[in-house]
Structure 1
Amino acid sequence: MDTALVAEIAELRERAWGLLVDVSQHCNIKLRDVAVALTVTVQGELLPEAMRREVGRALKRVNGRN
């Protein structure tokens, strides 16, 4: 496998983990529950409103934008 691709995958994995941790801490919800809530959105379920807002904020923090 291309080393650049491996590095990119590792960075994405770190950012995804950071997002889960960030939302978990700011919403005071267990990390595994955040992961489940995000996963079921693929099946068409919506995130709870508070979590939805926090995911947007967390994306900005994880991506280095305030």
Structure 2
Amino acid sequence: MRSEPTTTLGRRAIDLLAELERNRESVLIAQLEGIAHGDQAVEDGRTLTQDEAMQRMARWLGQRR
């Protein structure tokens, strides 16, 4: 995996968000797909409590639990 400075990644993220903003249709489709995926997860019983989710996401949120 390639390593890049945080500022480079931040700039790339900003560019990607701006591109998504220009093409709202793609964003809407992605949002609807995400909602459908979440609805299916609930129906399948694949849910977490808030604490469980925070523990799983701690690495990305910069927290230690």
TM-score bucket (shorter structure): 0.3 to 0.5
TM-score (normalised: structure 1): 0.40
Bigger radius of gyration: 2
